[in-house]
Chain A
Amino acid sequence: MLQRIRTAPPRYWLVAIVVIFFMGFPTVISSFQTSLWTQALVLAIAIMGLNILVGYSGQLSLGHGAFMALGAYTSAILAHRYKLDYLITIPIAALLTGLVGFLFGIPALRLSALYLALATFALAVVTPSLIKRPDALTGGVQGILVIQPDPPQFAQDTFATVTGTVMSSDQWIYYVALFCALLLFWVAWNLVRHRPGRAMRAIRDGEVAAAASGVNIAGYKTMAFGISAFYAGTAGSLFGLATGFVSPDTFPVSLSIQLLVGAVVGGLASIPGPLLGAIFAYFLPIESNQWVPSQAWIPAQIASTVKNAGPAVSYGVVLIAIMMFAPNGIVGLVNSGYAALNRRLRGAGDRETGQMPPDPQTV
């Protein structure tokens, strides 16, 4: 055991540090900030779902906010009308959304990339008005209030022993979201490094060759849609819990765009990417809306435009910068930086000298 710990690759250490960081984080920040980080974690789950679909299986979705809405409303309705424990509704919402996503994936097979983007975008556009219709069920424009549960006894006790303070319900919800995020990131990591993940990547890189290797293209593509929606449904359900409220305006078109921006900025087809992308996509608009007006050198007109336009401006600027300087997102940037550092430390590699290693022997 000790031997294994000693020889573990550095990225395992990094994962351990990140997990410990997120475990301890709510104990040092305010309750309000904790709830912001809960939402960032929830966004990370949704972006991981989108990452599985877009990054790994190569299908584009501009409408993942719709799947989040489905998950959120499933949980809210079950908890509000049928008085189910909210935590129990999370897996139910996830499974239902996953099933709907799977079914959506079947007609999606027939669409080429551009039309799939349009179809999913249409889904995102109609969702808010679709929710308003059956107002007896969904509460119409008003939405549904979600009662945020008090921490259970075991959590209160543990928290009190470790920190000596009383656990708030915001902190409890943070830990619920963190648990789901860790679980689902672990599952995603398992999927992508085993047979299903390779099959998805193979489809993305070349369908004809993937089929010739025996990969069932239609099966894997629809399944990718289903799993992706499962993640989005979980995220939607947690989102309702975190904000204490679901309404049609919680799931505007811009949410779907925010998810895609997060996935791209973090780095597609990577596991840490969605977490970084989520932190970025969640906090950038908040921070920039505070930062821009506080800067005296920015003309008042521009500052007020930025404030009014909200996330759109800062997203636009950063997205253009990322596409130009780091087309593989933050993870791509870190990886290439690490590789460059390695080369520097170990001397020029074969790539630098332009020499290929000698041809292998064929007997």
Chain B
Amino acid sequence: MSALLEVRDLSVRFGGVIALDRVSFAVEAGQVVALIGPNGAGKTTLFNVITRVYRPAGGTVLVDGDSVLAIRPHQVIRRGLARTFQNVALFRSMTVLDNVLVGDHTQTKSGWLQASVPLPGAVAAESASRKRALEMIDFVGLGPHAQRPVAALPFGWQKRIELARALVSRPRLLLLDEPAGGISHEEVDDVSRLLRRVHKELGVTMLLVEHHMAFVMGISDRVVVLDFGKKIAEGTPAEVQRNRAVIEAYLGAA
């Protein structure tokens, strides 16, 4: 039985800079895995390789044992991988509902012709989409604000909208890039609770990049530590916290 996600010997180079150096780890279905490391360690780069934004110099990324390096970026979500972005990449001219509806893109099929007339199939698909999107907006706690444009909403809300957009595609694996980044202390606890619900109620496996240590230690089953593109440690939160290499990477050599 192969892991849901397996990264094997992955290397990425930007010119002369080695952003990732033969990184390997796996995410088993049902787990919450955190990816930590100092700034510039290659965490977001790793996300971007998995979602086919960057092309790796070597190594493979396997989903259910099949390589995803041959598929195109828009097909990644059809393999059950959805993601959020570090600096929030919402569709800024659109409403909350429309943003989440874009996330539902792969759940329906109605194309140009069906929509242009619009045929009953497209109408039914549309109302089913709206129902799913509104449910997901409710789930992240923004139900009353579905019709508002996203651009004017606070950053913490925008992160939840992004989460809803990713979740509405019914992913098996959710890649979260700093879900607690840039939000207030009180909100961090809210996000932590919300993600626990995503894990328990929706049964979504999660791989998350995060700097907020209390948050990481509270939510994850396993932690993978990167430093300068290399994996320096992996284990349970408790193991990683005691790891000498990790302490050195964060605090500098004693």
Contact = CB atoms under 8 A, between A and B. Distances in A.
A212 B118 contact: no
B111 interface: yes
Contacts of B229: none
A360 B138 CA distance: 10
Contacts of B154: 356
A205 B92 contact: yes
SS of A interface (majority): helix
Given A191-B112, A195-B108, 6 more contacts: A195-B101, A195-B126, A209-B89, A213-B169, A214-B75, A362-B140
A198 B98 contact: yes
A268 to B, nearest CB: 10
A30 interface: no
Contacts of B172: none
Q: Which size class do B's interface residues fall under? A: 35 or more
Interface string A234-248: 000000000000000
B141 interface: yes
Interface of B: 51, 53, 72-78, 82-83, 85, 89-94, 98, 101-103, 105-106, 108, 110-112, 115-118, 122, 125-126, 129, 140-145, 152, 154, 156-157, 165, 169, 187, 190-191, 193-194, 197
Contacts of B98: 198, 201
A198 B93 contact: no
Contacts of A187: 116-117
Contact of B145 (A198, A214, A360): A360
Contact of B117 (A190, A205, A208, A212): A190
A237 to B, nearest CB: 19
A190 B126 CA distance: 11
Contacts of A181: none
Contact of B143 (A191, A351, A356, A360): A360
Contacts of A363: 141, 193, 197
A145 interface: no
A194 B74 contact: no
A120 B178 CA distance: 41
Contacts of B92: 205-206
A269 interface: yes
A215 B145 contact: no
Nearest 6 A/B pairs, CB to CB: A194-B115, A214-B106, A205-B91, A209-B89, A211-B73, A360-B141
Nearest to A203: B91
Contact of A190 (B85, B116, B129): B116
Interface in A304-363: 351, 356-357, 359-363
Interface string A163-198: 000000000000000000000000100110011111
A191 B115 contact: yes
Interface of A: 187, 190-191, 194-199, 201-202, 204-206, 208-217, 223, 227, 269, 351, 356-357, 359-363
A209 B115 contact: no
Given A198-B98, A214-B74, A214-B78, A206 B91 contact: yes
A201 B91 contact: yes
B193 A216 contact: no
Given A191-B115, A215-B102, A361 B141 contact: yes
Contact of B125 (A195, A211, A212, A361): A195
B126 A194 contact: yes
Given A208-B53, A210-B102, A190 B115 contact: yes
A191 B116 contact: yes
B73 A195 contact: no
A344 B74 CA distance: 45
A213 B144 CA distance: 24
A154 to B, nearest CB: 25
9 contacts: A191-B116, A194-B115, A196-B112, A198-B105, A201-B93, A204-B93, A210-B91, A357-B145, A362-B140
A42 B104 CA distance: 36
Nearest to B97: A198
A195 B115 contact: yes
B76 to A, nearest CB: 7
A209 B126 CA distance: 21
Contact of A362 (B53, B111, B141): B141
A234 to B, nearest CB: 14
A296 B145 CA distance: 56
